[in-house]
């Protein structure tokens, strides 16, 4: 498996960056995970949009789905340009029916339901889900290719279920949106202490911290995380590529 970080910011993108956008690849299958603000621009540094096979969206906050509309326009242009012959699949949950319905764009994109209780096969992966602790209904994702596992927490505050969901994964992409001292604004998100605890208690073999805040020193986040988590850890950055096979 190969993971490329195309966008790693919470809330909004700084200049020339993107919010949540990750490219997961295996055996030529290219899956975009979340499609936040700036994602469509940034992802083209790593893949041609005509080569994308599917999109999966964790939840419908803007920093995870803002660019879906522009991706749909691209899919329309791909179709009339002869680059694509069938509807592009966009996986998302149905807890907000209007948002799910908007994943369909004429016959150019097609919404496909994901739920916390069922698995789905997307390309080479069996994907399972876990409801997170977040103001909007949100699903964490676990990708299993039969050899390795990758878990993306999406947006969440601490839950014991998440520890079980992440157990023994080869790579954990965990959000960390606030600092440990920001208790007042931490609702729905992990602090460095909690992200480190999640990785340590779940025995994740490798950790990447993402959904980064727009203030403070990010090095502090990594220092705090690695004081708790004993495995290899790094901060997400645009263009980072992680191979795990
Ligand atoms: Zn969110």
- Report how far ligand 1's centroid is from the alpha carbon of 183 (Å): 17
- Report how far ligand 1's centroid is from the alpha carbon of 104 (Å): 21
How would you classify the pairing of strands 2-7 and 21-26? antiparallel
Number of compact structural domains in the chain: 1
Output the pLDDT for position 238: 98
- Report how far ligand 1's centroid is from the alpha carbon of 173 (Å): 15
Q: Residue 234 corresponds to which tokens in the numbers above? A: 């790094």
Q: How many C-beta atoms lie closer than 10 Å to residue 217's C-beta?
A: 9
101 pLDDT more than 70: yes
- Report how far ligand 1's centroid is from the alpha carbon of 66 (Å): 12
- Report how far ligand 1's centroid is from the alpha carbon of 187 (Å): 11
CATH number at residue 226: 3.60.15.10
Q: Which long-range contacts (CB under 8 A, 24 or more apart) does 88-95 make?
A: 88/52, 88/54, 88/55, 89/53, 89/54, 89/55, 90/54, 90/55, 90/56, 90/57, 91/54, 91/55, 91/56, 91/57, 91/120, 91/122, 92/56, 92/57, 92/60, 93/59, 93/137, 93/139, 95/137
Query: What is the Cα gyration radius of the chain?
Result: 17
- Report how far ligand 1's centroid is from the alpha carbon of 61 (Å): 5
- Report how far ligand 1's centroid is from the alpha carbon of 231 (Å): 27
245 pLDDT more than 90: no
Q: Residue 171 corresponds to which tokens in the numbers above? A: 């790579």
Q: What confidence category does residue 22 fall into, taking pLDDT thresholds of 50, 70 and 90?
A: very high
What span, in angstroms and rounded, lies between the C-alpha atoms of 51 and 222? Answer: 34
- Report how far ligand 1's centroid is from the alpha carbon of 85 (Å): 33
Query: Which residue range is the domain that position 186 belongs to?
Result: 2-243
Output the pLDDT for position 73: 98
Backbone dihedral angles phi then psi of residue 78, each to the nearest 5 degrees = -60, -40
* Phi-psi label, residue 26: left if phi above 0, alpha if psi -120 to 50, beta otherwise: beta
Exposure of 185 by Cβ count < 10 A (0-12 exposed, 13-18 middle, 19+ buried)? exposed
- The mean per-residue pLDDT over the stretch 179-207 comes to 90
- Report how far ligand 1's centroid is from the alpha carbon of 64 (Å): 7
- Report how far ligand 1's centroid is from the alpha carbon of 224 (Å): 23
Mean pLDDT score across all residues of the chain:
97
What span, in angstroms and rounded, lies between the C-alpha atoms of 178 and 183? Answer: 8
- Report how far ligand 1's centroid is from the alpha carbon of 134 (Å): 7
Q: What confidence category does residue 183 fall into, taking pLDDT thresholds of 50, 70 and 90?
A: low
What span, in angstroms and rounded, lies between the C-alpha atoms of 236 and 209? Answer: 6
One DSSP character per residue, 173-231 reads EEE--S-TT-GGG-TTS--HHHHHHHHHHHT-S-EEEESB-SSS-HHHHHHHHHHH--S
Q: What confidence category does residue 19 fall into, taking pLDDT thresholds of 50, 70 and 90?
A: very high
Output the pLDDT for position 244: 86
- Report how far ligand 1's centroid is from the alpha carbon of 81 (Å): 35
Question: To the nearest whole percent, how much of the chain has pLDDT over 70?
Answer: 98
Output the pLDDT for position 184: 61
- Report how far ligand 1's centroid is from the alpha carbon of 157 (Å): 10
Residues in the chain: 245
34-80 pLDDT, tens digit each: 999 999 999 999 999 999 999 999 999 999 999 999 999 999 999 99
- Report how far ligand 1's centroid is from the alpha carbon of 79 (Å): 31
- Report how far ligand 1's centroid is from the alpha carbon of 59 (Å): 7
- The mean per-residue pLDDT over the stretch 220-244 comes to 97
Q: What confidence category does residue 186 fall into, taking pLDDT thresholds of 50, 70 and 90?
A: low
> Measured in Å, how far apart are the chain's first and last C-alpha atoms?
6
Output the pLDDT for position 154: 98
Q: What confidence category does residue 185 fall into, taking pLDDT thresholds of 50, 70 and 90?
A: low
103 pLDDT more than 90: yes
């Amino acid at each position: 498996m190969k993971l490329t970080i195309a966008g790693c910011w919470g809330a909004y993108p700084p200049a020339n960056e993107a919010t949540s956008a990750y490219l997961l690849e295996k055996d030529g299958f290219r899956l975009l995970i979340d499609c936040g603000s700036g994602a469509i621009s940034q992802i083209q540094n790593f893949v041609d949009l005509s080569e994308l096979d599917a999109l999966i969206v964790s939840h419908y906050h803007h920093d995870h789905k803002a660019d879906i509309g522009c991706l749909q326009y691209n899919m329309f242009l791909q179709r009339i340009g002869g680059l694509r012959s069938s509807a592009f699949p966009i996986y998302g949950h149905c807890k907000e029916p209007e948002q799910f319905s908007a994943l369909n764009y004429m016959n150019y994109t097609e919404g496909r339901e994901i739920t916390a209780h069922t698995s789905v096969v997307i390309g080479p992966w069996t994907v399972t889900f876990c409801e997170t602790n977040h103001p909007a209904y949100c699903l964490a994702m676990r990708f299993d290719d039969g050899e390795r596992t990758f878990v993306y927490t999406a947006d969440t505050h601490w839950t014991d279920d998440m520890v079980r969901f992440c157990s023994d994964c080869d790579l954990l992409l965990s959000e960390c949106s606030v600092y440990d001292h920001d208790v007042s604004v931490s609702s729905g998100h992990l602090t460095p202490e909690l992200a480190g605890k999640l990785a340590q208690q779940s025995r994740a073999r490798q950790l990447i911290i993402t959904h980064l805040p727009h203030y403070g020193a990010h090095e502090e986040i990594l220092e705090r995380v690695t004081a708790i988590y004993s495995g290899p850890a790094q901060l997400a950055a645009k263009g980072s590529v992680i191979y795990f096979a």
